[in-house]
Chain A
């Protein structure tokens, strides 16, 4: 089933998605442009699960995004005026599909001007200028001199630079200008979903990368689902998430945040699974939730919001690999938020 997320404004938001299911997305770092509490009503049809995993949906009036893909569709109107009175108009959609690369600082986007409905509005030329902030550089291959009418599209290639161990977050700005002989030009602009490139995955001495530099839509909060198939660990997580602040549970408004500092992780772990503890029988290992590798680990959350359990060593093993994989696949850097779904 397709699950929808909508990020809300400062006070936190619960949104009922048309396709069913309660989705909550109150965030620690709200964004000013978000609308406050609203029910998502629209013409979206439920999308079958297999299709849903393939790509983000594209819907007029919406920016949809995951960690690496976004689709923005803007409904646009160009109005021609004579002596202040409208004498013609063109209506069309502009669709942007951007795919970031997990392990590269180069990516691209397609921009499509949809078929326009023209009412006394022939001969309007479209121009697109793209800029992006920080060290990001666009290479704009969008065709010039094309007119509104038939659908047409083009590519914008991007290249970012980021210093070793650093992050660079920015967005692309699209400036559209429309011209017609005998008329003064007009236009509008808007921005892409913000993205962040980082080169923060290095070994202890900072001599070698553990993961190549890459970029992600960092305001998307990824969901860790790989704990589900570790029965005892999943049981412990479920139990802890059901009480207190429900840290990490989707809908709680309290995601977990990665802690990447080795000392902080060790301190967290030692507080709840102290060294030298002997398991009740061989083959068991102390497991804690929230994870020691998060800011919420150790005693950072109240006692009713955390817990430990003795789980098979083999589950601990697998958990280690899966958490590492998750951090790298989603480019979860120090302090990034994520949910844990069991």
Chain B
């Protein structure tokens, strides 16, 4: 299906789920394709396409499908936590998202395995190249660590190997900035109030 994309990503997330915070070190240590929050309720899939829509196939299975990375540049598997409502998928900025229902009850939360595949991230500006495409296989499975099956495109490589000068700049910017600068307030005056009690005569 056509999934909205902006800022080089499409996102899979649940109501109230929060995006993971990511430092330059997290990116460097990451897989270069998908970032998931600690709760497993928000995943950001990095795309070559900056904005628009992408063809993403969601292939939902009863059990683990055989691994087939042929024809794909990047394949990464992670665990995610959703009910039968499944994730909303797309661009969360204007909430331009579509539903991806899963085979379980709406109130029934459980762990799922999500195997992300991507191709064509590098060639979006190459005329006549195959368009960027993604495949997400999903099946019910207990929570397990991330597995990186195949990492071969330049888009992912750049993320895992930032330019040293740029890396230093990013580290310096992170060191200079407090984690949460919430020390601003607004105010307005509250005039004193008075009441008078008159004795009955």
A residues sitting closer than 8 Å to B (CB atoms) are 1-7, 25, 31, 33-35, 49, 52-53, 56-57, 61-66, 72-84, 87, 103, 124, 176, 178-180, 182-188, 190, 201-205, 207-212, 219-221, 223, 225, 228-231, 234, 260-262, 265-266, 269, 273, 275, 278-279, 282-283, 285-286, 293, 312-314, 316-325, 327-328, 341
Contacts and interface: CB of A to CB of B under 8 A. Distances in A.
Given A103-B16, A231-B173, A282-B154, A176 B195 contact: yes
Interface of B: 6-9, 11, 13, 15-16, 18-20, 22-23, 27, 44, 46, 50-52, 85, 88, 90, 92-99, 122, 125, 154-155, 158-159, 162, 166, 169-170, 173-174, 176-177, 180-201
B186 A279 contact: no
Given A2-B183, A3-B183, A81 B125 contact: no
A82 B199 contact: yes
A262 B96 contact: yes
Contacts, number: 243
A298 to B, nearest CB: 13
Contacts of B98: 203-204
Contact of A278 (B125, B187, B198): B125
Contacts of A5: 184-187
Contacts of A208: 15, 85, 88, 99
A33 B189 CA distance: 9
Given A77-B194, A79-B195, A103-B16, A210 B200 contact: no
A87 B197 CA distance: 10
Contact of B188 (A7, A313, A316): A7
A270 B170 CA distance: 28
Nearest to B195: A186
Given A183-B199, A285-B8, A223 B181 contact: yes
Contact of A320 (B6, B181, B187): B6
A291 to B, nearest CB: 9
Contact of A312 (B166, B184, B199): B166
